[in-house]
Amino acid sequence: MSRQFWSETIAWAVASGAAIVNSVTETILFPNVTIPANYLQDGRCLRLRIFGAYGTTATPTLTFTARWGGVAGTVIAKSGAITTPSAAGGGASMTALFESEILIQVRTNGSTGTLMTNGSWTLYTTGTAVGLSYPVVSGSTGGTTPAAVTVDLTSDTALALTMLWGTANAANSIQGINYTIEALN
Report whether pLDDT(96) > 60.
Answer: yes
Report whether pLDDT(16) > 90.
Answer: yes
What's the CA gap between 136 and 58, in Å, rounded? 23
Q: What is the mean pLDDT of residues 10-29?
A: 94
* Beta strands 173-183; 8-12: pairing state: antiparallel
Report whether pLDDT(90) > 80.
Answer: no
- Residue 5's pLDDT is 67
Q: What is the pLDDT of residues 49-86, one digit of tens each?
A: 999 999 888 788 999 999 999 999 999 999 989 888 76
- Residue pair 104/88 in contact (Cβ under 8 Å)? The answer is no
DSSP E strand stretches across the chain? 8-12, 20-21, 27-28, 33-35, 45-55, 61-68, 74-79, 82-83, 89-90, 93-94, 96-108, 113-123, 132-138, 149-151, 157-165, 173-183
Q: What is the pLDDT of residues 126-150, one digit of tens each?
A: 666 667 888 899 988 777 789 999 9
Q: What is the pLDDT of residues 30-47, one digit of tens each?
A: 999 999 999 999 999 999
- Residue 58's pLDDT is 78
Report whether pLDDT(1) > 50.
Answer: no
User: pLDDT-based confidence at 92, cuts 50/70/90?
Assistant: low
CA dihedral of 94, 95, 96, 98, whole degrees rounded to 10? 50
Question: What is the value of pTM for the model shown?
Answer: 0.90
